[in-house]
């Protein structure tokens, strides 16, 4: 049976909606904790389907704090992945993965990627001579295409370094930047031996043509923070730490450099020593390092980390700021975010799913046409098996209204 108080509150809400009042009325005496919601509009009540503004659940309170200035222009759905033709079609015994963004030169698309051969043995055997991951013992190769579907493999762009160098074990997960007639490849590097606690770095090579030859810098342009402390001396245990250090104290992965506001912003994925599993999965976050010259030096932002979630870096310029697709890990995974300054990001849309990972964007797209135009199509990779991966084509479409 409805109490007298509930009946009066219900009648008040009905009367409010019937009279067309622009603001809801909060019962300040019985629900003083709801005073911050005193300015709720009739439109908000109708939009969110709230029954009684004096009895707001935690979910309704969160909903009332959602931004009201966001439209559907940031929401997309990904389509089914499509296999490529030519030399980038799946090849048994070969790993091709982590495609870079695509650029166009002399009428042809160019893409760079990690390539290795042979099965993965893992960390249980002879790590000095075997292969511990599919991306282990990689070189960076490149391919060209006239239509983005049929590709010709052109050869090696950047090789692993000589024994003893910082990149002697593997060079992989590459990105391309074209600026002022020059071309820059940034990528992950690993030095032997490749154990679980190894701290990889980021290297860079440059050329006057996308076909090379590529000049490799002698030193890495980015390294993990050095303020974490491992616990014990088991090199195959990454969970035990005395001090975790910064968000990137273990790994700096997936580099991508963008020219932005007269400087060069190097976005990257950070992994922390003693990485944990949270309510959003793996504790992965992004950071940025900034330089005045594309060759560096790159200085990490004091605002790092600049994301609460994410995996591979997928960023593009839009509307004077930087947009970012956040996938795979963390409480804000499967969101598109945007920042007016390249550092302070806010969520613009939450996607149903993202079946394209390690995305290679189409940098030839008209990035100002709409926020997600650059995601209409591009490249990704799939696991054909644990040992072997191949590069595929992804597509997406805007969704602005219910079907």
Average pLDDT, integer, range 5-15: 40
Residues with Cβ within 8 Å of 85's Cβ and at least 6 positions away in sequence, in order, are 149, 150, 151
Task: Name the CATH superfamily, with its identifier, for domain 76-398.
Answer: Glycosyl hydrolase domain; family 43 (2.115.10.20)
Q: What are residue 269's phi and psi, to 5 degrees? A: -90, 135
- 131 dihedral zone (left: phi>0; alpha: psi -120 to 50; beta): beta
Give the 3-state secondary structure of residue 374.
helix
pLDDT higher for 5 or 368?
368
What percentage of the chain reaches a pLDDT higher than 70? 91
**Is the pLDDT confidence value at 15 over 50?**
no
Residue 26: the pLDDT is: 62
Residue 53: the pLDDT is: 87
Asked if residues 64 and 44 have their Cβ atoms less than 8 Å apart, the reply is yes
**Is the pLDDT confidence value at 16 over 50?**
no
Both tokens of residue 394?
A: 């992804």
Asked if residues 384 and 90 have their Cβ atoms less than 8 Å apart, the reply is yes
Helix (H) / strand (E) containing 178:
strand 170-179
Query: Which residues make up the CATH 2.115.10.20 domain(s) of the chain?
Result: 76-398
Whole-model pTM?
A: 0.91
Residue 291: the pLDDT is: 98
Residue 323: which pLDDT band, with cuts at 50, 70 and 90? very high
Distance, in Å, from the CA atom of 215 to the CA atom of 158, rounded to the nearest integer, reads 9
How crowded is residue 58: how many other Cβ atoms within 10 Å of its Cβ? 7
Both tokens of residue 243?
A: 């001090």
With DSSP H G I counted as helix, E B as strand and the rest as coil, what are the percentages for the chain, rounded to 5?
10, 35, 55
Residue 306: the pLDDT is: 98
196: closest CA among 127, 134, 292, 120?
127
State the chain's mean pLDDT as an integer: 91
pLDDT higher for 114 or 127?
114
pLDDT in tens, 185-243: 999 999 999 999 999 999 999 999 999 999 999 999 999 999 999 999 999 999 999 99
In order of 65, 87, 252, 340, 385, the CA distances from 187 in angstroms are 40, 22, 10, 26, 24
Give the 3-state secondary structure of residue 193.
coil
Token look-up 């067309």 returns: 20
Distance, in Å, from the CA atom of 172 to the CA atom of 160, rounded to the nearest integer, reads 9
Burial annotation 113-141 (CB, 10 A radius, 16+ → b, else e): bbbbeeebbeeeeebeebbbbbbbbbbbb
Residues with Cβ within 8 Å of 267's Cβ and at least 6 positions away in sequence, in order, are 255, 256, 257, 258, 286, 287, 288, 313, 315, 324
**Is the pLDDT confidence value at 286 over 90?**
yes
**Is the pLDDT confidence value at 385 over 50?**
yes
Residue 65: the pLDDT is: 87
Residue 2: the pLDDT is: 47
pLDDT in tens, 40-94: 888 888 889 998 888 999 999 999 988 776 668 999 999 999 999 999 999 999 9
In order of 343, 347, 398, the CA distances from 193 in angstroms are 35, 40, 46
> 325 exposed, middle or buried (CB, 10 Å; 0-12, 13-18, 19+)?
buried
**Is the pLDDT confidence value at 33 over 70?**
no
Q: Supply the DSSP symbol for 47.
A: H
Distance, in Å, from the CA atom of 377 to the CA atom of 358, rounded to the nearest integer, reads 13
- How many Cα atoms are found within 13 Å in the side-chain-facing hemisphere of 131? 16
Asked if residues 297 and 252 have their Cβ atoms less than 8 Å apart, the reply is no
Q: What are residue 15's phi and psi, to 5 degrees? A: -65, -40
* Three-class HEC string of 280-328: CEECCEEEEEEECCCCCCCEECCCCCCCCCCCCCCEEEECCEEEEEECC
**DSSP labels for 345-375?**
-EEEEE-S-----S-B-BTTS-TTTSTTGGG
């Amino acid at each position: 049976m409805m109490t007298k108080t509930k009946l009066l509150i219900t009648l008040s809400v009905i009367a409010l909606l019937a009279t067309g009042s622009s603001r809801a009325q909060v019962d300040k005496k019985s629900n003083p904790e709801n005073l911050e919601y005193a300015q709720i509009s009739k439109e908000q009540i109708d939009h969110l389907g709230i029954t009684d503004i004096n009895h707001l659940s935690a979910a309704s309170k969160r909903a009332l704090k959602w931004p009201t200035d966001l439209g559907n222009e940031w929401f997309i759905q990904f389509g089914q992945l499509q296999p490529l033709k030519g030399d980038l079609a799946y090849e048994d015994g070969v790993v091709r993965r982590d495609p870079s963004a695509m650029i166009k030169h002399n009428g042809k698309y160019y893409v760079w990627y990690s390539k290795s051969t042979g099965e993965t043995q893992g960390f249980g055997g002879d790590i000095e001579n075997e292969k511990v991951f599919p991306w282990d013992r990689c070189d960076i190769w490149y391919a060209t295409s006239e239509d983005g579907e049929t590709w010709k493999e052109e050869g090696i762009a950047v090789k692993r370094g000589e024994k003893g160098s910082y990149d002697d074990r593997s060079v992989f997960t590459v990105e391309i930047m074209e600026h002022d007639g020059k071309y820059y490849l940034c990528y992950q590097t690993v030095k032997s031996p490749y154990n679980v606690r190894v701290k990889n770095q980021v290297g860079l090579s440059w050329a006057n043509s996308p076909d090379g030859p590529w000049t490799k810098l002698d030193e890495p342009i980015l390294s993990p923070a050095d303020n974490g402390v491992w616990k014990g001396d088991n090199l195959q245990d990454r969970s035990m730490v005395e001090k975790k250090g910064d968000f990137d104290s273990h790994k700096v992965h997936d580099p991508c450099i963008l020219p932005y506001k007269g400087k060069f912003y190097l976005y990257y994925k950070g992994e922390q020593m003693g990485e944990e599993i949270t309510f959003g999965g793996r504790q992965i976050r992004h950071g940025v390092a900034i330089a005045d010259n594309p060759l560096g030096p790159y200085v990490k932002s004091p605002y790092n980390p600049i994301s609460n979630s994410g995996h591979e870096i997928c960023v593009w310029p839009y509307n004077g700021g930087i947009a970012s697709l956040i996938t795979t890990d963390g409480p804000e995974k499967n969101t598109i975010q945007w920042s007016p300054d390249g550092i302070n990001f806010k969520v613009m849309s939450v996607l149903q799913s993202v079946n394209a990972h390690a995305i290679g964007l189409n940098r030839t797209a008209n990035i100002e046409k709409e926020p997600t135009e650059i995601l209409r199509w591009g490249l990704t990779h799939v696991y054909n098996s644990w040992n072997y991966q191949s590069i595929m084509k992804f597509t997406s479409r805007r969704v602005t209204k219910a079907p």
